[in-house]
Structure 1
Amino acid sequence: MKLLLIGLDGVRIDLALPAVMDRVPGFAEPDHPADPRFAAEPVPAAQSPSAPAAEPAVDADPAAEPPSDPVAEPATAPTAPADPLAPTLARLVDGGAILPVWMTPPTDSGPGWASLLTGTTHEQNNVWWNEFVGHRLARTPDLLSQVFFGDPAARTFAASTWDALVSATSAGPVIHQRVDQQIGGQHQLFAATDFSRGCRSADQQVRTRAAWTLNHEGPDAAFVYFEGVDEAGHAHGSTGEEYRQAIRDVDEHTRYLVKAVSERYEQLGEEWLIAVVTDHGHKDEGGHGEDEVQVRRSFLALHAVGPDGAAERLRKQVADRSVLRSEHVTPLLLELIGVRPGTWQAGHEVGQLRDVPSVGPTRDLRYEW
C-alpha cells in the first residue's frame, strides 16, 4: 500500500467539519496537560466567558404586570444543515476514519510539523520555535526517510509551500534531503516559488506539481503541504469569511490529490492510504503557539483507496486508537502501510553525545532574541 500524507497548516476541525465534534468524544478536551511555559495569558475579566453579562437597562416599573403573551408564532421547520466547509475532507472521513490528535505546546508550525513528521517529541527533536535553532532533525528521520530505510527501493516525494519543511537552504528542513536518492530521481523535493498572491498562489503551484507527480509517477510515499489557511488565520482571524474561504481552497487542493491517486487505483490497481493532518488550529482572533483548546486540537483523517472492504479493514485497524498525540502519527502511518521501523531506539549507547540537554527554552527574556 502506498501513502499520501496531506498537511493542512492551521485548520480548525471544529469549523471545517463541525459534525465530527459531537460524533467523536476525543475532540472535546486535550488528553495531556500543557507545559506551563507555553500557557496562554489569562483572559481579562471583561472578556472571560464566565463573566456575568451586563444587565440591560430597564425603564419600566418592575411591579407592573408583564405584557400579555401575543399569539405564538408557528414553529419554523428546521433548516437543513449547511454544506461542510471541506466537502472533500468530509467525504474522506465518511468513507474512512478520523482520530483526534492533541498537539503539545508550543503550538507553532515548526515544533508541530517536526513532531508529526518524525514521530518524536519536542525534547527528542529539539524543535521549539520556527527558527529551528539547535534542532536534532538529522537524528530524528522523517516519515519519508523511514519508509526508505524500511525498503531502499522506495520512491518518495514531498512538496511544500513552506520551505522549512523541504529546502536545504531553510532553517530546517524537516524532510531529509537524501541527496544520493535525489540525484537518481528516487527522492523528489519541491518548494513553492510563486508567492505573487501570497500562499494562495504558492499552494496552487504545490497542488499542480504534486497532482502531476502523484498521478504519473506514483511515489511509494508522499507528503504535500499547504499553508493558505494558516496565512488567512494570522491575517484575519478564524471567525471571518477569509478563513472559511481558505479552508475551502485547501479542500479543493486536497480533492485534486485524491483524484490523482484514485485514478492510479482505477487504472493500475495500486492501493493507497490517504491521510490528512494539521499542526494546530487558530484562536478566534488569529494566532497560535500556546495551549488554548482550539489551538491544540488537531486530527488525523484516514481513507483507504482500494478494493471493496478496504474502508472496513482500515476502521478495524484503528478501532483501538481513540486519541493520538503528534508523535504518534508517523508510527501509526508506517504501521498501516506495513513498514517496519529500524532497530534504532532513543537512549541506545551508539551515538551518545554530551550536549545541551533537550529541555526547551527557559522563557527567560535575557536569552530570547
Structure 2
Amino acid sequence: MNKLFLVILLCLTGSITLAQQPERKTLFIITDGIPVDIIHKASTPNLDRIEQEGIFLESYVGGERGGITQTPTISSNCYATLITGTWVNKHNVWDNNIANPNYNYPTIFRLYKDAYPDGKTAIYSTWLDNRTKLLGEGLDATKNLKIDYAFDGLEHDTINYPHDKHSNYIKKIDAAVASEAASSISKNGPDLSWVYLQYTDDAGHHYGNSPEFYNSITYHDALIGLIYDAVKQREEEYNEEWLFIVATDHGRTPLTARSHGGQSDSERNTWMVINKKDINDYALNYRTAAVDLLPTIADYMNIAIDQSTLYELDGLSLFSPADAFNLKGVLIDNSKLLLSWTSISKNSDTTAEVYISTTNNIKEGNPDRYIKIGEVPLKEELALLSIEMPEVSDFLKVVLKTPNHTLNYWVRKVGSEK
C-alpha cells in the first residue's frame, strides 16, 4: 500500500512539475547603425547588465564579399537578413525602397505563426515599412500574416512629431515606441516581439564618430533598459522565460562613421547581446552572423521548419550543437565539385551528407529536387566530388547535411554571369 501511494505521489509530482515549466517567449531589438568598435565607447549600463546575464557577441553582415551572397550594408537589407535568416540573393531586399521582397523565404514571424497559429506576435517600430513591407502584413504572398500587437507609423505624424533637420523627431518617436513596447509587454506578454529604434543611425549620419553619437547610444540604452525591465517583470509574475536579443543592423564607414552601405570591415562588423549564457561552440569561438538570428529564435521557441525552408537558411542556431560552418564550393571543369568548410564537431568520426539541386524553384514558391552525391568526413574540411551538370543549368545549390543541422551554398558554372 505504501509503495502504491509513493508511485501515485511521484506521478502527480511529475505532472505538476511539467505543468509549471516556464512558457518561452522571445523579444529582439534592432538599434540602428552602431559599429562594434563604437558601442564600447558609449555608456551602456543596461546592455552591460544584459551581457552580465548572458553574453556579448561580435557578428557581421554583408554576406560573402565578392560572392553571390554579398549584401549591401544598408538598413532594410540588414533587417531582412536578420528576420529571414538569408542573404540578399534570396530575400531580394536590395535597398530601402523594399521594391520586391521575396516572401518565399519566410520571416521568423511567418514561421512562428505557421507553427503556433494561436500564438501572439508584436512589432513596435519607428519605421512603418518594417511591418507593411518587410513582414508583408496582410499580403497574399505572406499568407495574410497578421501581427497581433502593432505600434508604428509615427514618422508620418508630422503634427505631433514635426520633422527637423537634426532628427529630434525620430528621437522622440523612439521614446514613444519603447514606452509602448514596455507597456504592451507588461500587459499582454506577446510570444514573439520585434522592437526597432532608429535614432542612433540618424545621429551617426549627422555627427559621425563623436560624443553626440555616443550620447545617442546611451539614449537607446536607457530605452532598452525600460523594455528589459518589463520582460523581467513578466518573468517574475507569470512564470515565463524570455530570450532577449539586442542587435545592430550594420556598422559604418571607417574613421568618420558618417555613412554605410559598402563592404569595409567597419561597415560589416556588428554585434549582438543575448541574455543567455548557454550558447554553443560556434557562437563561443567564432564570429556570428546576422543570418543566425532566425535559426536561434526558431530553436529557442521550438519552431518546426520544413525542409525546403531549412535548406535555404544561411545561418545557425547559437544554442543547439553545431558541427560546421562557412561552407563554400567551386566547380572544376563543370564536372567536379570542390567543397570546403570549417569543422566544429569534437567527434573525429562525424560525417555529413552532400546534396545538390540544379534548380531554384523555391524562388517561385515551389520545392527543389535534391539528390545525394556523397558523404564526407567533417574533420577533413575539404572534399572533391564528381557531379554531372546539365547544360540548361548555370548553377547548383549545395546542401551539407550534418548530424545537427544543414549548411548551404550556391555555386555558379564557370563563365556564367554573376
Determine the structure 2 residue equivalent to 1:296: 268
**How far apart, CA to CA, are the structure 2 residues paired with 1:288 and 1:247?**
17
CA positional deviation for 1:335: 1.0
**How far apart, CA to CA, are the structure 2 residues paired with 1:199 and 1:127?**
23
CA positional deviation for 1:317: 7.8
Determine the structure 2 residue equivalent to 1:129: 95
The answer (yes or no) to whether the contact 2:36–2:270 under 8 Å persists in 1 is: yes
**How far apart, CA to CA, are the structure 2 residues paired with 1:186 and 1:163?**
13
Change (3 A) 1:7 1:139: same
Change (3 A) 1:214 1:158: same
SS of equivalent to 2:226: helix
CA positional deviation for 1:202: 0.9
* Selected match of 1:17 from 37, 40, 46: 40
Letter in 1 for 2:54: G
* Selected match of 1:281 from 251, 263, 267: 251
Determine the structure 2 residue equivalent to 1:32: none
Determine the structure 2 residue equivalent to 1:111: 77
* Selected match of 1:156 from 102, 121, 132: 121
**How far apart, CA to CA, are the structure 1 residues paired with 2:145 and 2:200?**
34
The answer (yes or no) to whether the contact 1:159–1:206 under 8 Å persists in 2 is: yes
**How far apart, CA to CA, are the structure 2 residues paired with 1:216 and 1:179?**
28
SS of equivalent to 1:294: helix
**How far apart, CA to CA, are the structure 1 residues paired with 2:120 and 2:287?**
31
SS of equivalent to 1:324: coil
CA positional deviation for 1:263: 0.3
Is 1:253 aligned to 2:200, yes or no?
no
CA positional deviation for 1:122: 0.2
Matches within 5 A, 1:173-212: 173-178=133-138, 187-193=148-154, 195-196=161-162, 197-212=168-183
The answer (yes or no) to whether the contact 2:137–2:145 under 8 Å persists in 1 is: no
Change (3 A) 1:342 1:319: same
SS of equivalent to 1:291: coil
CA positional deviation for 1:261: 0.9
**How far apart, CA to CA, are the structure 1 residues paired with 2:285 and 2:82?**
16
SS of equivalent to 1:344: helix
Letter in 1 for 2:275: H
How does the TM-score come out when normalised to structure 1? 0.68
Change (3 A) 1:297 1:264: same
Change (3 A) 1:254 1:207: same
**How far apart, CA to CA, are the structure 2 residues paired with 1:291 and 1:334?**
29
> Once the two structures are superposed, what CA deviation does each residue of 1:142-173 show, in whole Å capped at 9, x if it has no partner?
22221111211110001111222113xxxxx1
CA positional deviation for 1:129: 1.1
CA positional deviation for 1:240: 1.1
Higher relative contact order (CA 8 A, sep 6+): 1
**How far apart, CA to CA, are the structure 1 residues paired with 2:40 and 2:59?**
15
Determine the structure 1 residue equivalent to 2:296: 332
Is 1:220 aligned to 2:191, yes or no?
yes
RMSD (Å), alpha carbons: 2.8
The answer (yes or no) to whether the contact 2:128–2:152 under 8 Å persists in 1 is: yes
Change (3 A) 1:179 1:88: same
**How far apart, CA to CA, are the structure 2 residues paired with 1:351 and 1:298?**
31
The answer (yes or no) to whether the contact 1:141–1:176 under 8 Å persists in 2 is: no
The answer (yes or no) to whether the contact 2:74–2:261 under 8 Å persists in 1 is: yes
The answer (yes or no) to whether the contact 1:192–1:203 under 8 Å persists in 2 is: no
Change (3 A) 1:344 1:184: closer
**How far apart, CA to CA, are the structure 2 residues paired with 1:260 and 1:317?**
31
**How far apart, CA to CA, are the structure 2 residues paired with 1:263 and 1:134?**
40
Change (3 A) 1:186 1:330: closer
% identity of equivalent residues: 25
Determine the structure 2 residue equivalent to 1:68: none
Letter in 2 for 1:107: T
> Once the two structures are superposed, what CA deviation does each residue of 1:326-363 show, in whole Å capped at 9, x if it has no partner?
2222112211232222343354568349xxx9xxxxxx
CA positional deviation for 1:186: 6.2
How does the TM-score come out when normalised to structure 2? 0.60
**How far apart, CA to CA, are the structure 2 residues paired with 1:191 and 1:240?**
29
Aligned residues: 275
Gaps of 5+ in 1: 19-83, 168-172, 305-310, 358-369
SS of equivalent to 1:129: coil
Is 1:242 aligned to 2:201, yes or no?
no
Using the TM superposition, name which of 7-16 and 106-115 deviates more. 7-16
* Selected match of 1:98 from 34, 39, 56: 56
**How far apart, CA to CA, are the structure 2 residues paired with 1:292 and 1:319?**
23
